[in-house]
Structures are given as C-alpha cells and as structure tokens.
C-alpha cells in the first residue's frame, strides 16, 4: 500500500473481488428490471443498465465505494420494507422516525458532513493522520446516509400516491442533497487516488455550506415536503439530465476549493514557510493538478448535461435551445471553463492566476445553480426561493 501524499494509488483490486462486484451489480440490475418491467419504459431500462455499468466501473477498484453502495442498498431496503405501504410509520416507527425515514437520514447526513468538516480540519491542525482517517469515515457515512435518504424519499413519494411518485431530483431541495453527496463522492475518489486527506476540510467546507442552506430551506420554507411533478418534469430525461449537471457543479465546486487551498498555501509559503498550512497541505503542483482534473471532469459532465438538457428541451418546450436564463447561464459557465482550459492547455498558464479563476468560477457556477432561480424567471422555474 502506497501511502504518501500525492502518490498515485491505482493498484487494481483482486480479480475475484472485481468479478464478485460485477456479478452483484449485474444481478441486482437484472432483478430490478425484471421486477419493474411493466412500469419501466425502454429509456428507463437503458438508464438502469447504464447506471449499473457506471457502478461497476467505479466500484471495481474502489473498495470504499463498493461498501458505500452495499450499505446504502441494505439500509434503503430495510427502510422500505419497514414502511410497507404505510407512510405514517415515518413518525411512529422508531427506526424510521430516528434514522431511516428520508428526512431523518438527511438530518444524519447533515450532521455527519458538518462533523467531518471539523474533523478534517482538526486532523490538519494537529497533523494527525488518524483524525483525518476518522474524517474520511465520517464523510463516507454522511454520503451513505444522504443517499439512503434520497432512496427512501423516492419510495416515500410513491407511498403518497402512485402518481406523485418520482425520482428525488426534481426541486431545489432535493438537488441540494444530491449536490452534497456527489461533491463528497468526487472528493473521496481523489482522496483515495492521490492520498490527499489534508484537502478534505476545504472540500467539505462547501458541502457544509450546502448542508446549512438545505437545512434553512427545509425548516424556514418547508421545502422538504414532497411535491408532485409539474407536467414538464415528467420525463425520463430528468433522471439523467439532473445528475449529470450535478457532477458538473460538484466538480467545479471542488476545483474552486482546491483553488482556495492553493492560494492559501502559496500565500503562507511566502509569508511563513514553516507554518502549518505551508507544510501540511500537499505540494502546490499536486493541488494544481487536482484542480485541473476536477475542472476537466466538470467540463465533460457539464457538456453532457447541457446536451441532454437540449435534447429534453426539444421534447418538452418545442426547441432545443430557447435562451432561457438557466440555459444561458449553463452556457456561460461552460464558456468560462472552456476559456480556463484553453488558458491552461494551450497557453500553459498555471498556479495562482488559474487558482483565482477557479475560485471566481465558483461564483459563476453558483449563480447558474442558485442565482437564476432566485433572481431570474424563465421556463426553468421549478425551485423558486
């Protein structure tokens, strides 16, 4: 086991493990398709297969992810079978009420993410790799509870009534949870691959911010209540368009936090070479590299998401591009990062200016994600504040 910050950890898992994992996911996907064959349309079957392939690819060399998916599956299944057909159990059944009902699971996720943030920073402060490992475990747990929360919520929406049921990525509240989960998972991926636990606190800072917003949104605005879908959202496109978008948003946010860490470190290196930040954070070159990787990943998924959005718009609004504010802001975000990538790849810029740009990029992204809903009106007004 290589264990040195920045060293690439890409050792494949044993072939047996890999095959077991593939078989497990394939079996599960097959059961799912077989069981719901009557209600799934061909697109949804294709999406299920696609998701299964994605899980296989991600999990075959990543034991943490395998465990995460298995535990999520078991907990969700447990909660769902506990519910049976009775949604009111959410507040009377002990297990559901306190742990596994979607709202409870999401509260656990929130608490765990905030704890993980503090723990990561604690680990950084005391230079304790044990504490940092605890922080990783907390992050994994938070991600798991969050995903359980979404899975159970999915089921709960069907328990309200069959026609209300829908995948929980349909409004601002739900996508905020999705955002937290995806950003954390992206970070965990890079953490394992590049052994960079000292960056955890920075990335989880933005996740915690999302968590705080989502709590305010739930308690202040009752946004957590499951609402039926407006007709425009009743489409299989939503199942792929939204998650793809959030891989983009999550990756861009992560890049911005890397940029932030970069700037902090390079500032401290100039002012206090022996200081904590200057010594405990990974090499600038490594942070820079991670920042680039995150933006590349974000750009790729954002491209896919925007194209999917265009395909969907062609079906729902009568044109693949309408210059609707959300669409236009997606384009702005995309152009911004395209310019960033060119600056870096073709003009060879790196270091501080690019880190600043990545941080500024977060505000552009944030506006596309939140600002448009808050300040502008358009066809996309599904999650108004």
Partner 1 sequence: MSEKSTSSRSNQTFGRRLFLFLGTMDLAITLLLVLAVASVIGTVLQQNQPYTDYMIKFGPFWFELFEQAGLYDVYSSLWFLAILVLLVISTSICVTRNTPRMLQDMLSFRSQIQEKSLRAMQHSKQWTVNNSIENSLDDAETELKKQGFRVRRKEKDNQVIISSMRGGMNRLGYIFTHLAIIVICIGGLFDSNLYLKLAEWQGKIKIETRNLATADVPDISRLAVGKQAFRGSIHIPEGRSSDHVFIAVRDGYLVQKLPFRVEVKDFRIEHYPTGQPKSFESDLVVYDDDLAQPLETTISVNHPLIYKGYAIYQASFSDGGTGLELQVWPLSYQTESAEVDVSIDVFERRKMQWGKSSLQLEITSFRPFNINPDPTEDDPNNLRDFGPSFGYKLRSETGEASEYINYMLPVPRKGREFYLSGVRSSPAEEFGYLYLPIGEEGDLSEFNAFLATLRDSEQVNAVARTMMLETLSTVADGRNEKLEQVLQDTLVMLIKMFTEGGFTVVTQFIETTLPEAEKEALGPAYLGMLRQMLARLYFNSLEGVDTSTVSDEQLLFLQDAVDAIGSFSRYGAPVYLSLSNYNHIQASGLQIAQSPGKSTVYFGCALLIIGVFLLFYVPQRRLWLCFSKKGDTVELILAGMSNRDPREFEQFFETMFQQLKLTIGQRHSK
Chain contacts with ligand HEM (rule: CB under 6 A): 296, 338, 341-342, 345-346
Is the CB of 9 or the CB of 303 nearer to ligand HEM? 303
Instruction: Give which of 307, 288, 310 is closest to 299, Cα–Cα.
Output: 307
Which one, 105 or 368, has the nearer CB to partner 1? 368
Which does residue 304 bind out of partner 1, ligand HEM, none, counting CB within 5 to 8 angstroms by kind? partner 1
The one of partner 1, ligand HEM, none whose footprint includes residue 205, by CB under 5 to 8 A per kind, is none
384 binds partner 1 (CB under 8 A): no
Of the two residues 134 and 296, which places its CB atom closer to ligand HEM in the complex? Answer: 296
Q: Does 328 bind partner 1 (CB under 8 A)?
A: yes
Q: Which partner, partner 1, ligand HEM, none, binds residue 307 by CB below 5 to 8 Å per kind?
A: partner 1
Within 13 Å, how many C-alpha atoms sit on residue 328's CB side? 11
Give which of ligand HEM, partner 1, none residue 189 binds (C-beta under 5 to 8 Å, depending on kind): none
Site for partner 1 in 287-306 (CB under 8 A): 289, 296-297, 299-300, 303-304
Q: Which stretch binds partner 1 (CB under 8 A): 33-41, 117-125, 274-282, 320-328?
A: 320-328
123 lies in the binding site for partner 1 (CB under 8 A): no
Interface residue with partner 1, options 8, 23, 95, 374 (CB under 8 A): 8
> Contacts with partner 1 in 133-192 (CB under 8 A)?
161, 163-164
**Which is nearer to partner 1, 189 or 320 (by Cβ)?**
320
Q: Which of 15, 16, 231, 270 binds partner 1 (CB under 8 A)?
A: 231
Among ligand HEM, partner 1, none, partner that 122 touches (CB below 5 to 8 angstroms by kind): none
> Which of 259, 256, 271 is CA-nearest to residue 355?
259
**Per CB under 8 A, which of residues 270..289 are in contact with partner 1?**
286, 289
- Which one of 212, 339, 374, 385 is in contact with partner 1 (CB under 8 A)? 339
Dihedrals φ, ψ of 54, to 5°?
-60, -45
The answer to whether 220 contacts partner 1 (rule: CB under 8 A) is: no
- Site for partner 1 (CB under 8 A): which residue of 5, 18, 97, 234? 234
Residue 46 CB, nearest approach to partner 1 (Å): 16
Our finding on whether 309 is near partner 1 (CB under 8 A) is no
HEC per residue, the chain: CCCCCCCCCCCCCCHHHHHHHHHHHHHHHHHHHHHCCCCCCHHHHHHHHHHHHHHHHHHCCCHHHHHHHHHHHHHHHHHHHHHCCCCCHHHHCHHHHHHHCHHHHHHHHHHHHHHHHHHHHHHHHHCCHHHHHHHHHHHHHHHHHHHHHHHHHHHHHHHHCCCCCCCCCCCHHHHHHHHHHHHHHHHHHHHHHHCCHHHHHHHHHHHHHHHHHHHHHHHHHCCCCCCCCCHHHCCCHHHHHHHHHHHHHHHHHHHHHHHHHHHHHHHHHHHCCCCHHHHHCCCHHHHHHHHHHHHHHHHHHHHHHHHHHHHHHHHHCCCCCCCCHHHHHHHHHHHHHHHHHHHHHCCCCCCHHHHHHHHHHHHHHHHHHHHHHHHCCCCCCCCCC
- Tokens found for residue 298: 């974000």
Binding site for partner 1 (CB under 8 A): 6-8, 10, 161, 163-164, 227-228, 230-232, 234-235, 286, 289, 296-297, 299-300, 303-304, 307, 310-311, 314-321, 323, 325, 328-329, 331-332, 335-336, 338-339, 342-343, 346-347, 372, 376-378
């Amino acid at each position: 086991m290589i264990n040195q910050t920045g060293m690439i950890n890409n050792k494949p898992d044993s072939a047996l493990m890999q095959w077991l994992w593939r078989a497990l996911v394939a079996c599960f996907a097959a059961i799912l398709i077989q069981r719901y064959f009557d209600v799934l349309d061909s697109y949804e079957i294709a999406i299920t297969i696609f998701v299964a392939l994605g899980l296989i690819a991600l999990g075959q060399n990543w034991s943490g992810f395998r465990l995460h998916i298995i535990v999520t599956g078991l907990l969700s299944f447990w909660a769902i079978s506990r519910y049976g057909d009775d949604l009111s159990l959410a507040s009377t059944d002990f297990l559901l009420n306190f742990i596994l009902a979607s709202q409870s699971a999401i509260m656990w996720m929130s608490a765990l993410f905030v704890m993980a943030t503090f723990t990561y920073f604690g680990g950084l402060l005391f230079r304790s790799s044990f504490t940092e490992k605890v922080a990783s475990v907390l992050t994994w747990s938070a991600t798991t509870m969050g995903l359980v929360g979404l899975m159970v919520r999915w089921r709960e929406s069907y328990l309200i009534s069959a026609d209300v049921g829908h995948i929980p990525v349909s409004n601002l509240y739900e996508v905020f949870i999705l955002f937290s989960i995806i950003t954390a998972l992206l970070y965990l991926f890079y953490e394992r691959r590049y052994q960079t636990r000292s960056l955890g606190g920075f990335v989880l800072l933005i996740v915690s911010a999302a968590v705080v917003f989502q709590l305010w949104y739930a308690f202040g605005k009752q946004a957590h209540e499951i609402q039926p879908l407006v007709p425009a959202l009743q489409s299989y496109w939503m199942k792929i368009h939204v998650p793809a978008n959030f891989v983009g948003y999550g990756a861009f946010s992560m890049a911005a936090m890397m940029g932030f860490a970069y700037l902090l470190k390079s500032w401290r290196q100039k002012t206090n070479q022996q200081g904590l930040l200057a010594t405990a954070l990974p090499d600038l070159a490594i942070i820079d590299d991670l920042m680039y990787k995150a933006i590349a990943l974000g750009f790729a998924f954002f491209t896919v998401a925007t194209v999917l959005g265009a395909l969907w718009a062609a079906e729902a609004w009568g044109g693949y591009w309408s210059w609707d504010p959300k669409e236009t802001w997606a384009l702005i975000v995309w152009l911004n990062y395209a310019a960033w990538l060119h600056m870096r790849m073709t003009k060879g810029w790196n270091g501080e200016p690019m880190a600043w740009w990545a941080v500024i990029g977060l505000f552009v992204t944030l506006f596309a994600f939140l600002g448009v809903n808050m300040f502008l009106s358009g066809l996309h007004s599904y999650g108004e504040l």
